[in-house]
């Protein structure tokens, strides 16, 4: 059974107010994701099928390429592996075709996205346990940026003070990210991210977790951008 901390961890990873792809202000749109939603789930399903077939034939995932080179890989596994790789190749090819007239900054990001596509293909054999974690915990895959400020001070406040002080601290920081124009409230990406984190913090408090545990979790939020990079 998933612990409360694991549950909130997964929510945070998939909260696009906290983690999302970089936004291209020049083009007025974000960098495309490699996979998201059903396409990501389908790639995960293929991965699981390959795992099951390898178990059926008593073949380690790490031996797939070697057996394929020697033409000794069972055909049903070969077909699934090729389908897995082709889906990734087709997706990055489609993105590159759509971005031919993009700015240099955007093209650089697309090239970085292409490298991550290669990571996915290599991880099938080299890091299957980490790839499995990505399929289980993420709802999308691609380039990622964190919208939060440094969370170290937030962790210190949680660790050293009571909930009322923590609430005051978050509310004060969030207010600084809000502006008003013609009576309309506007909040920055950073402010939205802080609002969401505050909700998750309250959820952990209400569940009864110790402030030290919550503080540790909050402190490491910025570093979670590397979660998308574990298969490098």
Half-sphere exposure of 114 (CA within 13 A, CB side): 12
Phi-psi region of 37 (alpha: psi -120 to 50; beta: other; left: phi over 0): left
Say if residues 107 and 101 touch (Cβ distance below 8 Å). Answer: no
Give how many domains the chain has, as a whole number. Answer: 2
Mean pLDDT, residues 45-50 taken together: 98
Asked which of 95, 117, 143 is the last residue of a domain, the reply is: 143
Confidence check: pLDDT of 182 > 90: no
Shared domain for 139 and 61, answered yes or no, is yes
Q: Over range 95-105, report the average pLDDT.
A: 91
Task: Band the pLDDT of 201: cuts 50, 70, 90.
Answer: very high
Residue 133 shares a structural domain with residue 53: yes
Question: 93 with 159, same domain?
Answer: no
pLDDT band of residue 2 (cuts 50, 70, 90) is: confident
Query: For the ranges 71-85, 94-108, 142-156, which has the lowest average pLDDT?
Result: 94-108
Domain span holding position 8:
4-19+146-223
**Considering the entire predicted model, what is its pTM?**
0.93
Q: Is the pLDDT of residue 108 over 70?
A: yes
pLDDT higher than threshold 90 for residue 102: no
Please, which residues have CB within 8 angstroms of residue 130's CB and are 6 or more apart in sequence? 123, 230, 231
29 and 117 belong to one structural domain: yes
136 in the same domain as 26: yes
pLDDT (mean) for 167-188: 95
* Alpha-carbon 186 to chain mean position: 26
Q: How is residue 30 written in tokens?
A: 């974000």
Q: What is the pLDDT of residue 100?
A: 87
Mean pLDDT (the chain) is 96
Determine the 3-state secondary structure of 221 from DSSP.
coil
Give me the pLDDT at residue 120, please. 97
Query: How confident is the model over 54-65, as pLDDT tens digits?
Result: 999 999 999 999
Task: Band the pLDDT of 1: cuts 50, 70, 90.
Answer: low
Average pLDDT over residues 184-203: 97
């Amino acid at each position: 059974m998933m612990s409360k901390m694991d549950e909130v961890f997964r929510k945070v990873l998939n909260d696009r107010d906290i983690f999302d792809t970089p936004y291209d202000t020049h083009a007025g749109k974000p960098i495309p994701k490699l996979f998201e939603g059903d396409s990501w789930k389908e790639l995960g399903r293929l991965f699981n099928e390959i795992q099951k077939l390898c178990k059926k034939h008593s073949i380690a995932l790490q031996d797939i390429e070697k057996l394929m080179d020697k033409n000794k890989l069972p055909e049903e596994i070969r077909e699934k592996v090729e389908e897995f790789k082709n889906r990734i190749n087709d997706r990055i090819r489609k993105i590159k075709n759509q971005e031919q007239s993009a700015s240099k900054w955007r093209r650089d990001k697309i090239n970085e996205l292409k490298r991550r596509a290669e990571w996915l293909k290599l991880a099938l054999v080299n890091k299957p346990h980490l790839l499995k974690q990505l399929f289980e915990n993420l709802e999308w895959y691609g380039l990622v940026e964190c919208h939060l400020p440094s969370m170290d001070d937030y962790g210190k406040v949680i660790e050293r003070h009571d909930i009322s002080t923590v609430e005051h601290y978050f509310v004060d920081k969030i207010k600084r990210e809000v502006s008003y124009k013609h009576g309309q409230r506007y909040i920055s990406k950073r402010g939205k991210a802080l609002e969401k984190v505050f909700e998750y913090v309250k959820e952990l408090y209400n569940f009864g977790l110790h402030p030290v545990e919550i503080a540790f979790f909050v402190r490491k939020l910025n570093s979670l951008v590397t979660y998308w990079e574990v298969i490098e």
